[in-house]
């Protein structure tokens, strides 16, 4: 962290807060770009309208996400690192090696300049750890009361270095569902801050890049049918989306799903079902039976709680998918898509 505690490069006596002019295309915007963004993100060339890149492959993955999380800082992360992890993970879920990100800031007039600086440094730290470069960006400022501090959009480009088709349509009956770690920490960490809840131990978000695990699975030659990270809507929504796209039934064993005791307790207090709580460093992998031992071994190197949690049991006869769950007491129930809003602005 020490490299990322530099003093703010914008003169705070003059500009303690973000002004509308910081997004106006003039001197102040240039100062923000040239003194804060470009050196921190290690921009190689003078700013231009777009960046030229020479990709080592013509087969790429492309994705985008906006981040509007509230609060901006939370145990285990902040909007800056989250904006890197979320987009890197979306690329990894296509089996791509994440390489380049864009960063679009929508700042609210009056934002503390030092707060922006903390977020920018956190982004760069997360980008370095994830092995990606922030290569192009944009800054807009909206009037006070028309935004909420900081919104960040990142778009990402990754390259695909293998011939596998990792997508819902590749899911087949017999595939095992692997989960990369324990569930629910990101959502609970956010809710605890928002609601002012104090648990015995602080629950930290799981926000992290999962690209290393995915790339190691691919490098080891594991056959992967589908990957999906468990963000908004949690495990239940991810399973339902894939079941619906692949037109299959997925059966999950509840007691196989790793869940920390403190998270389970918090879910009970808050009235949440952990299956629907958002994560920012967890994913599921659909792996044909032959590869499961090898895949699980790799995932456990990164998180000992990685587990096989279910199976693709059948093709569905109608055009819908189905997700069922065997509960701790042996009863089977349908796990539906989340209706309505459980946790707004969780990412």
- Interface with a second copy includes 147 (CB under 8 A)? yes
37 binds a second copy (CB under 8 A): no
Q: Which of 292/337 has CB closer to a second copy? A: 337
Q: Pick from 16, 24, 71, 174 the residue near a second copy by CB under 8 A.
A: 24
Among 118, 232, 251, 282, which residue sits at the site for a second copy (rule: CB under 8 A)?
A: 232
Nearer to a second copy, 118 or 228 (CB): 228
Restricted to residues 255-294, the positions that interact with a second copy (CB under 8 A) are: 278
Does 5 engage in binding with a second copy (CB under 8 A)? no
CB closer to a second copy, 53 vs 256: 53
Find out whether 315 and 232 touch, Cβ atoms under 8 Å: no
Q: Which of 2, 14, 45, 317 contacts a second copy by CB under 8 A? A: 45
Cβ count within 10 A of residue 14: 9
Question: Where in 122-141 is the site for a second copy (CB under 8 A)?
Answer: 135-138, 140-141
Looking at the DSSP bridge assignments, the partners of residue 314 are: 249
Contact 234, 215 (CB under 8 A): no
User: Smallest Cα–Cα separation from 306: which of 318, 314, 316, 297?
Assistant: 297
Residue 158 engages a second copy in binding (rule: CB under 8 A): yes
Give the total of residues touching a second copy (CB under 8 A): 89
State the nearest-atom distance from the C-beta of 1 to a second copy, in Å. Answer: 28
Of 8, 36, 79, 106, the one binding a second copy (CB under 8 A) is: 106
C-beta of residue 277 within 8 angstroms of C-beta of residue 184: yes
Cα distance between residue 149 and residue 147, in whole Å: 6
- What's the Cα-to-Cα distance from 52 to each of 36, 68, 202, rounded to whole Å? 22, 29, 44
Q: Which is nearer to a second copy, 89 or 122 (CB)?
A: 89
**E strand or H helix at 195:** helix 185-195
Q: Which of 97, 118, 185, 228 binds a second copy (CB under 8 A)?
A: 228
| CA distances from residue 126 to 132, 339, 346 in whole angstroms, order as listed | 9, 33, 19
């Amino acid at each position: 962290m020490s490299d990322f505690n530099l003093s703010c490069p914008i003169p705070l006596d003059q500009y303690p807060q973000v002004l509308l002019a910081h997004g106006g295309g003039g001197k102040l915007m240039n100062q923000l770009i040239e003194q804060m963004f470009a050196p921190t993100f290690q921009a190689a060339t003078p700013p231009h309208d777009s960046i030229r890149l020479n990709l080592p492959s013509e087969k790429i993955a492309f994705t985008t996400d906006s981040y509007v999380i509230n609060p901006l800082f939370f145990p285990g992360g902040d909007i800056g690192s989250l904006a890197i992890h979320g987009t890197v993970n979306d690329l990894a879920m296509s089996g791509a090696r994440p390489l380049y990100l864009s960063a679009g800031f929508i700042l609210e007039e009056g934002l503390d300049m030092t707060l922006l600086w903390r977020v920018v440094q956190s982004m760069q730290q997360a980008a370095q750890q994830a092995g990606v470069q922030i290569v192009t960006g944009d800054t807009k400022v909206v009037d006070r009361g028309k935004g909420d501090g900081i919104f960040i959009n990142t778009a990402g480009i990754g390259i695909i270095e293998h011939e596998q088709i990792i997508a819902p349509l590749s899911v087949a009956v017999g595939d095992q569902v692997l989960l990369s770690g324990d569930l629910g920490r990101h959502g609970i960490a956010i809710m605890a801050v928002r609601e002012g809840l104090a648990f015995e131990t602080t629950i930290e978000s799981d926000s992290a890049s999962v690209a290393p695990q995915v790339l190691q699975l691919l490098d080891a030659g594991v056959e992967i049918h589908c990957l999906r990270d468990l963000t908004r809507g949690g495990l239940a929504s991810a399973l339902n989306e894939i079941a619906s796209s692949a037109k299959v039934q997925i059966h999950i064993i509840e007691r196989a799903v790793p869940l920390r005791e403190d998270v389970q307790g918090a879910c009970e207090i808050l009235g949440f079902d952990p299956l629907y709580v958002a994560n920012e460093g967890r994913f599921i992998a659909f792996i044909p039976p032959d590869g499961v031992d090898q895949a699980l071994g790799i995932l456990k190197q990164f998180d000992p709680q990685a587990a096989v949690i279910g199976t693709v049991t059948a093709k569905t006869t109608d055009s819908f998918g189905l997700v069922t769950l065997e509960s701790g007491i042996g009863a089977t129930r349908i796990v539906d898509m989340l209706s309505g809003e459980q946790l707004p602005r969780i990412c």
